A and B are shown apart, each in its own frame.
Chain A
Amino acid sequence: MLDPTPKARVLIGKPGLDGHDRGAKYVAQVLRDAGFEVIYTGIRRSPEQIVEAAIQEDVAGIGLSLLSGAHNVLFKRVIDLLKERGASDIVVFGGGTIPPKDIPTLTAMGVKAVFTPGTPAKRIVETLDTLLAQPA
Chain B
Amino acid sequence: MSDSNLATNLKTSRDKYDAAVAKTLAKFPEQQKTFVSASGSPVERLYLPESDPRAAYTEQLGFPGQFPFTRGVQPTMYRGRFWTMRQYAGFATAEESNQRYKYLLGQGTTGLSVAFDLPTQIGYDSDDPESLGEVGKVGVAIDSLADMETLFDGIPLDKVSTSMTINSTAAILLAMYIVVGEKQGVTPEKLNGTIQNDILKEYIARGTYRFPPKPSLRLIADIFEYCTKEVPNWNTISISGYHIREAGSTAAQEIGFTLADAICYVETALKAGLKVDEFAPRLAFFFAAHSDLFEEVAKFRAARRLYARIMRERFNASDKSCMLRFHTQTGGVTLTAQQPDNNVVRVTIQALAAVLGGTQSLHTNSKDEALALPTEESVTVALRTQQIVAYESGVTNTIDPLAGSFFVEQLTDRLESEAKQYIEKIDAMGGMVAAIERGFVQKQIEESAYRFGQSIDSGERVIVGVNKFTSKKEPDIDLFEVPEATQKRQVDKLKSVKANRDANKVRAALSAVTEAARGDGNLMPPILDAVRAYCTVGEICRALEGVFGQYTESFN
The smallest beta-carbon distance between A52 and chain B, in angstroms, is 15
Q: A100-B475, A117-B337 are in contact. Are A21 and B130 (CB under 8 A)?
A: no
Determine whether the beta carbon of B134 is less than 8 Å from that of A70. Answer: yes
Determine whether the beta carbon of A68 is less than 8 Å from that of B118. Answer: yes
Q: A22-B246, A26-B450 are in contact. Are A17 and B118 (CB under 8 A)?
A: yes
Q: Is B453 an interface residue (CB 8 A)?
A: yes
Residues of B within 8 A of A46 (CB): 129-130
Give complex CA distance A33, B482 in Å: 37
Q: Which of A22, A69, A98 contacts B482 (CB 8 A)?
A: A69
Q: Is A85 an interface residue (CB 8 A)?
A: no
Give complex CA distance A30, B371 in Å: 23
**Total residue contacts A-B, CB cutoff 8 A:** 103
Determine whether the beta carbon of A18 is less than 8 Å from that of B138. Answer: yes
Determine whether the beta carbon of A74 is less than 8 Å from that of B467. Answer: no
Tell me the chain B residues, 69-115 only, with Cβ under 8 Å from chain A.
none
Determine whether the beta carbon of A22 is less than 8 Å from that of B248. Answer: yes
Determine whether the beta carbon of B370 is less than 8 Å from that of A121. Answer: no
Determine whether the beta carbon of B137 is less than 8 Å from that of A68. Answer: yes
Give complex CA distance A120, B461 in Å: 13
Q: Is B446 an interface residue (CB 8 A)?
A: yes
Determine whether the beta carbon of B479 is less than 8 Å from that of A70. Answer: no
Determine whether the beta carbon of B453 is less than 8 Å from that of A68. Answer: no
Q: A17-B118, A18-B138 are in contact. Are A99 and B372 (CB under 8 A)?
A: yes
Give complex CA distance A120, B512 in Å: 54
Q: Is A16 an interface residue (CB 8 A)?
A: yes
- State the interface size on chain B (CB cutoff 8 A): 44
Give complex CA distance A20, B131 in Å: 17
Q: Which of A20, A71, A120 contacts B246 (CB 8 A)?
A: A20
The smallest beta-carbon distance between B325 and chain A, in angstroms, is 26
The smallest beta-carbon distance between B372 and chain A, in angstroms, is 5
Tell me the chain A residues, 38-62 only, with Cβ under 8 Å from chain B.
40, 42-44, 46
The smallest beta-carbon distance between A81 and chain B, in angstroms, is 12
The smallest beta-carbon distance between B427 and chain A, in angstroms, is 26
Determine whether the beta carbon of B450 is less than 8 Å from that of A17. Answer: no
- State the interface size on chain A (CB cutoff 8 A): 35
Residues of B within 8 A of A101 (CB): 479
Q: Which of A21, A69, A74, A99 contacts B132 (CB 8 A)?
A: A74
Determine whether the beta carbon of B475 is less than 8 Å from that of A122. Answer: no
Determine whether the beta carbon of A40 is less than 8 Å from that of B555. Answer: yes
Determine whether the beta carbon of B553 is less than 8 Å from that of A43. Answer: yes
Determine whether the beta carbon of A22 is less than 8 Å from that of B119. Answer: no
Determine whether the beta carbon of A73 is less than 8 Å from that of B207. Answer: no
Residue from A19, A21, A43 whose CB has the most chain B CB atoms within 10 Å: A19
Q: A19-B202, A100-B371 are in contact. Are A43 and B130 (CB under 8 A)?
A: no
Bitwise, A82-120 to B at CB < 8 A (1) or not (0) is 000000000000000111110000000000000011101
Residues of B within 8 A of A30 (CB): 453, 457
The smallest beta-carbon distance between A5 and chain B, in angstroms, is 24
Determine whether the beta carbon of B449 is less than 8 Å from that of A26. Answer: yes
Give complex CA distance A77, B129 in Å: 12
Q: Which of A20, A26, A72, A118 contacts B207 (CB 8 A)?
A: A20
21 contacts between A and B (CB under 8 A): A16-B132, A19-B206, A19-B207, A21-B207, A21-B247, A26-B453, A29-B450, A30-B453, A40-B555, A43-B207, A44-B207, A68-B118, A68-B133, A69-B137, A69-B138, A71-B133, A77-B133, A98-B371, A99-B481, A100-B474, A118-B338
Instruction: State the A residues within 8 Å of B (CB).
Output: 16-22, 25-26, 29-30, 40, 42-44, 46, 68-74, 77, 97-101, 116-118, 120-122
| Closest 9 A/B residue pairs (Cβ) | A19-B207, A73-B133, A70-B133, A17-B118, A69-B137, A121-B457, A118-B466, A26-B453, A42-B553
7 additional A-B residue pairs with CB within 8 Å, beyond A40-B555, A100-B475, A118-B370: A16-B132, A18-B118, A18-B134, A20-B207, A68-B138, A70-B137, A77-B133
